[in-house]
Amino acid sequence: MQVHHLIEVCIIFNMSKEECMEALSKHANIIPVITCTVWKELEKENKEFFEAYISRQERATAAETR
């Protein structure tokens, strides 16, 4: 399975980039720097999506800490 597709699965599960890097390292034996590089390329290609995605994650984190 391609790293790109695995990152999409992580996004479906609302994982952060760091959580995704850790999960792919542990479960798919993918070096974290590879995941990080592909994630950054996806961010460049889909800037608006990732801005909204990160914003939703930040709001969820803020709600959890209340």
- In this predicted structure, what is the pLDDT of residue 20? 98
pLDDT at 9 over 90: yes
What's the predicted TM-score (pTM) here? 0.87
Both tokens assigned to 32: 């974290």
CA distance 12 to 15: 8
Angle at which helices 32-45 and 3-12 cross, to 10°: 80
* Side-chain-side CA neighbours of residue 48 (13 Å): 0
pLDDT digits (tens, 9 = 90+) for 26-60: 999 999 999 999 999 999 999 999 999 999 998 88
> How would DSSP label each residue in 9-51?
HHHHTT--HHHHHHHHHHHH---HHHHHHHHHHHHHHTHHHHH
